[in-house]
Amino acid sequence: MDWSDPKYDELAKQDFLRSEIVADLRAGRYDRVHTRFPPEPNGYIHIGNAKAIWLNYCIARDFGGKFNLRFDDTNPVKEEKEFIDSIIRDVAWLGADCEGRVFYASDYFQQMYDWARDLINKGKAYVDDLSADEISQHRGNLTTPGRNSPWRERPVEENLDLFERMKNGEFPDGAKVLRAKIDMAHPNMNMRDPLMYRIIHAPHPHAGDKWCIYPIYDWAHGLEDSIEGITHSMCSIEFENHRPLYDWFLIELGIYKPRQIEFARMNVSYTIMSKRYLKMLVGENRVSGWDDPRMPTIAGMRRRGYPARAIQDFLERAGIAKKANTIAFELLESCVREELNRTAPRLMGVLNPLKVVVENLPEGHSEEFDAVNNPEDPAMGTRKVPFTREVYIEREDFMEVPEKKFFRLAPGREVRLRYAYLLTCDSAVKDSAGVITELRCHVDLASRGGNAPDGRKVKSTMHWVSATESVPAEARLYDRLFTVEDPSGEEGKFLEHLNPDSLKVLKDCRLEPAATNLRAGDRVQLERLGYFAADQDSEPGRLVLNRTVTLRDSYTKGK
C-alpha cells in the first residue's frame, strides 16, 4: 500500500482514530490495518455495541484491511451459547462482514497458560492465597499505596507447581489466584499486581470442561489481539487507564504488540446500555425477551423493523468522540424514517375500525382502484385495492359534533377516500349505550379516483379498507421504554422510569388484502399511521404488525 496517497489525507480528516492510524502507517509502525470487535457473550449486543462494531469494520474497510469478530469468552459463569449465536447473527445482519474470521479467546487458553508460566519463570507472576476481600484491602487507594501480599515472594518452582495444580482442579473456587508482580505502590491502580487467573469450576459454552482456571480480561485481551495480528485495538474510554497494563504484558512477554486507542462510548437518550440492567429487564419479565422490540438490542431493533442501513446511517451521523456523549433518540428515529420512506411499500390499514355503509352502492358491490406502492420509487409500481359497499375507516376520523379545526368526517361533511370517491356522511347508527356502531353515507359516483368533476375542494383525505375483503391483524404500538432521557442516572432506580404506555396492543385491526403477502421482517408504511414490520408471532390468518416508528419526525422538525 502507498500510504502517502492523498486519499489517506481525506480519511485522516474524518476523525481522530483514522488520523492516528494514518500517522502510524506513514511512520512505518504498521504496514496494514487489522481491527476486531471483541464482545463478551454475556448478553445480546445493543446499539452502543453497534457503534464499536461499525467503527472497527469501517476502519478496516477504508484501509483495505481485515476485521475480526472475536469472543472474549473468559467468564463461563455469565456466558451462554445463545448469546454467542445471537452476536454472530446480529453482527452479520448489521453488515459488518468478518469474512468468516470468527474467533474465541477460549481457543487460545493453552497459549495464554504457557505465557503465564513464562512470566512466572521470569519472576513476574506469582500464586496468591489471599481472598478477594484481602486482595482489595491490600491494594490501597488513589492516595495510599498498596501492601505486598505475604505470598508475593514465593519461589518460582513453588509458583509453577501451584499454578499447574490450579489448572488440574486441585483447589476450590477462590482458594488461589495468579497475579502479575508489578508494583503495589504504582499510581495507576491497575498496575498494582493485577489478577491474571482465577479458579472457576464451571462448564464453558465453547471450551466445555477442559479448563477450571480462566484468564482475567486485562491479561487475556492484549494476548488475543497479539495472536490475531491486530494492529489497532480500539477500546472505549474507560480502558484508557488499562492501556499501561495492556502494553506491560506484551512487552514482558516479548511478543507482537498492537496499539490500543480509546474512544468515547455512545449513549442514546431514553435508553439504557448496561447489560446488567438489560438482563434485569429480561429476567423480571419487564419485556418479552432480549429481542423485545422496545429493547435497545440489535435483535430488538431488527424485530421492531429498523433497517440495518438506517442503523448504519445513525452510527455514522453520531460520529466519534473522545468524551462521553449522548445522542438524541430522535436522530435514530429520523434515520429509520428516511430509510423506510425510500424503501417501504405503502398499504392501507385501519387500527380502530368504524364501519361505513355506502348506501348508494348495491349489495355485493365490489370494484378495484389502482394504488401507488411507493411515491418515492415509481419502479415499485401499483397494486389493486378493492372497494365495496361496506368499508372501514378509523374511528378517530369521525366526530359527531366536530371540534374547531377537525376537518375529517362528520354528519353532512364530505371527505375524500384515498384513491376512491368523495364520501358524505348522512347519519350515525348507535347502540343502546349510545356508542356509534356504523355510519350511513353516500359517495359521489362521478368522483371516481377522488376528484370532483366540478372541481370543488375537500379539506381531508382519509384512508380506508374494504369491510368484506380486508384481512384481520393485530397491531403492537411501541413507544420509548423509559419516560426520562437518562433512566440510569440514579443507581438502582431505572425501573421507576419505565414507560407504562411503551406497548399498546390493538387486536381488531383490518388491512387491505395485499397484506396477506407480508412475511416476518417485511416492512410497510400504513398510510397516515406509521411504519410497521410483520412480527415473527404472525401465523396464517393472523398477521401481527409491530409499529416501527410513527410518521411524525420530531427531530428534524425541531431544527
pLDDT in tens, 349-366: 999 999 999 999 999 999
Least confident of 7-11, 142-146, 539-543: 539-543
Q: Which three cell numbers stand for residue 311?
A: 442503523
Count of alpha carbons within 13 Å of 105, Cβ hemisphere only? 31
Grade residue 490 by pLDDT with cuts at 50, 70 and 90. Answer: low
Predicted confidence at residue 492, as pLDDT, reads 67
What letter does residue 481 receive in the DSSP assignment? S
Q: Which three cell numbers stand for residue 16?
A: 481522530
Predicted confidence at residue 447, as pLDDT, reads 94
pLDDT at 280 over 80: yes
**Rounded to a whole number, what is the largest CA-CA distance in the chain?**
103
| Rounded average pLDDT over 131-154 | 96
Backbone phi, then psi, for 439, in 5-degree steps? -115, 145
Residues recognised as catalytic: 40, 265, 275
Please write the tens of the pLDDT for every residue from 31-45: 999 999 999 999 999
| Rounded average pLDDT over 505-509 | 97
Predicted confidence at residue 89, as pLDDT, reads 98
| Rounded average pLDDT over 414-430 | 96
Predicted confidence at residue 488, as pLDDT, reads 83
**Strand, helix or coil at 411?**
strand
For 387-418, give one letter per residue: b (16+ CB within 10 A) or e: bbbbbbbbeebbeeeeeeebebbbbebbbbbb
pLDDT at 554 over 60: no
Please write the tens of the pLDDT for every residue from 164-196: 999 999 999 999 999 999 999 999 999 999 999
CB 111 within 8 A of CB 223: yes
pLDDT at 559 over 50: no
Q: Which three cell numbers stand for residue 429?
A: 347508527
Distance, in Å, from the CA atom of 428 to the CA atom of 435, rounded to the nearest integer, reads 10
pLDDT at 163 over 70: yes
Predicted confidence at residue 454, as pLDDT, reads 87
Distance, in Å, from the CA atom of 119 to the CA atom of 122, rounded to the nearest integer, reads 5
| Rounded average pLDDT over 402-421 | 95
pLDDT at 555 over 60: no
Contacts of 320 (CB under 8 A, 6+ apart): 15, 16, 17, 55, 263, 264
Q: Which three cell numbers stand for residue 551?
A: 410518521
Predicted confidence at residue 427, as pLDDT, reads 96
Q: Which three cell numbers stand for residue 370?
A: 389502482
CB 73 within 8 A of CB 358: no
**Strand, helix or coil at 61?**
helix
For 25-55, give one letter per residue: b (16+ CB within 10 A) or e: beeeebeebbbbbbbbbbbbbbbbbbbbbbb
Distance, in Å, from the CA atom of 481 to the CA atom of 296, rounded to the nearest integer, reads 9
**Residue 127: enclosing H or E segment and its boundaries?**
strand 125-128
Predicted confidence at residue 324, as pLDDT, reads 84
Distance, in Å, from the CA atom of 86 to the CA atom of 80, rounded to the nearest integer, reads 10
- Grid cell 440489535 in the structure block, residue: 298
Distance, in Å, from the CA atom of 205 to the CA atom of 208, rounded to the nearest integer, reads 6
Q: Which three cell numbers stand for residue 456?
A: 370543488
> How are beta strands 543-549 and 530-534 bridged, if at all?
antiparallel
Predicted confidence at residue 557, as pLDDT, reads 52
Neighbours of 552 (CB within 10 A): 10
| Rounded average pLDDT over 408-417 | 96
| Rounded average pLDDT over 531-544 | 94
Distance, in Å, from the CA atom of 52 to the CA atom of 43, rounded to the nearest integer, reads 16
Q: What percent of the chain has pLDDT over 70?
A: 98
For the chain, count helices (H), then strands (E).
14, 27
| Rounded average pLDDT over 332-353 | 97
Neighbours of 348 (CB within 10 A): 26
- Grid cell 440514579 in the structure block, residue: 490
Per DSSP, helices labelled H in 366-507 are: none
| Rounded average pLDDT over 333-340 | 97
Predicted confidence at residue 327, as pLDDT, reads 95
Predicted confidence at residue 315, as pLDDT, reads 97
Predicted confidence at residue 452, as pLDDT, reads 85
